[in-house]
Amino acid sequence: MMKKKSYMNKENILSEGFYIKLFKFLLPKGVREKLTKKQISNIKNTIQVQDRTIKSFEKKQDEAKERMLQALEKEVGRDIKRHETSEDALDAFYKKYGK
């Protein structure tokens, strides 16, 4: 039986402003009132910069993975199937060889 996949992956969490909501929730009410709009916007800008940095690192990681797989294919002489996630790879393995 397959587990139901959650829609809250990394991209959805970042796009829905999860960190901003978490920050607002954890911040005590007294401190929240003292923050000015400028400070809040600075915090939001910092979060957006960090989100862009995370996305660029993910892109670099995907490119490095592809280069590694291409080098491995060249060395082995066979094509390697690419899967989106490790769960997909395990499902394909179990389908082919059984549990």
pLDDT, one tens digit per residue, over 71-94 is 988 998 888 887 777 888 888 888
pLDDT number for residue 4: 61
Q: Residue 84 gets which letter from DSSP?
A: S
| Residue 85 belongs to some domain of the structure | no
Tally of domains within the chain: 1
| Residue 19 belongs to some domain of the structure | no
| Residue 48 belongs to some domain of the structure | yes
- Return all residues near 19 (Cβ < 8 A) that are at least 6 apart: 13, 47
How far apart are the two ends of the chain, measured CA to CA in Å? 13
| Residue 64 belongs to some domain of the structure | yes
pLDDT tens per residue, range 58-70? 999 999 989 998 9
Residue 66: name the closest of 44, 34, 74 by CA: 74
**Domain range holding 42?**
35-78
| Residue 2 belongs to some domain of the structure | no
- Return all residues near 32 (Cβ < 8 A) that are at least 6 apart: 24
| Residue 18 belongs to some domain of the structure | no
